[in-house]
Amino acid sequence: MRTTWDFTGARALVAGAGGIGAAVTSALAEAGANVLVLDVDEAKMDKVCQGADSVNGLTTDLTSADACRAAVDRSVQLLGGIDVFVHAVGVNDRRPVLETPDEVWERLRAVNLDSAFWLGRAVGAVMVPAGHGRIVFLSSVSGLLAHKDHAPYAATKGGVNQLMRVMAREWAASGVTVNAVAPGYTETDLTRAYLSEPGIRASLETLVPAGRLGRPEDLTGPVLFLASDQAAFVTGQVLYADGGRTLV
pLDDT value at residue 59: 95
pLDDT value at residue 98: 98
pLDDT value at residue 190: 65
Own/partner long-range contacts of 8-11 (Cβ < 8 Å, ≥24 apart): 8/32, 8/33, 9/33, 9/34, 10/34, 10/83, 10/84, 11/36, 11/79, 11/80, 11/81, 11/82, 11/83, 11/84
- Low pLDDT (below 70) residues in the chain: 1-3, 190
Catalytic residue among 153, 185, 194, 240: 153
Tens of pLDDT, residues 185-207: 888 776 777 778 888 888 888 88
**Domains (range + CATH), the chain:** 11-186+217-233 (3.40.50.720)
Tens of pLDDT, residues 76-92: 999 999 999 999 999 99
pLDDT value at residue 3: 54
Active site residue 153: yes
pLDDT value at residue 204: 85
pLDDT value at residue 191: 72
